[in-house]
A and B are shown apart, each in its own frame.
Chain A
Amino acid sequence: MHELGIASGILSSAITAAENVGATTISSVDVSIGVLTEVMEDALQFAWDELRQGTMAENAALTVTMLGARSRCADCGHDYEHGRYDAARCPSCGSYVVMLLQGRELDINRIDAD
């Protein structure tokens, strides 16, 4: 399962960051996931609950912020929000030359550690 790899990436980044400041326990982890990635929030939570066992993040809650998709038209400059299926076409001028601004994030933002 794909989310297991994502969860293990989150866990190792979080532990590295905590160890860097000499912390020994992590109580929360905040991540942002773009809606255009293939990560499902439920599956990610499930994988997180498995992986954190026996680590310094054992009691850490994972807070997931889902980020919507936004693109900008390269022809007319229009900046627009869209869903998973209508990314490619500028709703203002109809151009297909568009640049994705947000929606493919897989980011770890911050942790709370002591």
Chain B
Amino acid sequence: MQIEIEQRILAANERLAAENRARFDEHGVFVVDLMASPGAGKTSTILATIEALRDRYAIAVIEGDIASKVDAEKVRAHGIPAVQINTGGACHLESAMIRRAVDTLDLAELDLIIIENVGNLVCPSDFDLGEHAKVMILSVPEGHDKPYKYPNIFQVSQAVILNKYDTMSVFDFDEAEFREVVRGLNGLAPIFPMSATKGEGVQAWAEWLAGRVEDAKTGRGA
């Protein structure tokens, strides 16, 4: 017999994501999910963002990058709570992993949670975690043609960070073409040129993020 199902394949993930989001909203916590290739500068961006915003906001970090505990330890060395998710080699985070991580945080004390997703430009874009914004980091050495190869991740992002901007002169990165392609995929996402390890451009990104944190605190949320 034919049985009509008509549901999302990832319905279980999306249900949990909605529960996560409701919990964050209840506490006025803004949650951002950073997605990028391995080595693009997710952890460096997190550390720079912490330094830019730590005087204004209580921040925690959820580390999902596969390799080891080093990233969470780097964050803790900055005096910020960090939860390491053990993804067991998975290629993306799912909302159940975020829920378990959040259980170990005190949401009432927090304003901002930054998630470092698994280094991968493909599937993190299809998985809702309950975050308020996905943000994509592309680093200059990866090349300006990445949006042609991985359009989806640019489409689902609310902002794009162009990291390692200090290496611009070394690589043949065509910034005008990059901006045009990203705009064609996603006309609303701002692009922030940045050098996470050197500090240039961090302020503009941090102010954009601070604006979103303020909205979440006052319930005008995402």
Contact = CB atoms under 8 A, between A and B. Distances in A.
| Chain A binding surface, main DSSP class | mixed
Interface stretch (B2-10, B18-26, B75-83, B104-112): B2-10
Contacts of A37: 126, 152
Contact of A17 (B3, B183, B185): B3
A74 to B, nearest CB: 11
B222 interface: no
- Residue with the highest number of chain B CB atoms closer than 10 Å, among A39, A88, A95: A88
Interface residues of B, number: 32
B184 A86 contact: yes
Nearest to A20: B3
A89 B187 contact: yes
B1 interface: yes
Interface string B132-164: 000000000000000110011001000000000
B126 A38 contact: yes
A9 B12 contact: yes
Interface in A95-114: 95-98, 106-114
Contact of A21 (B3, B122, B187): B3
Given A2-B126, A9-B10, A10-B9, A114 B183 contact: no
Given A37-B126, A112-B2, 9 more contacts: A9-B10, A13-B5, A38-B123, A87-B155, A88-B185, A89-B184, A95-B187, A107-B8, A107-B9
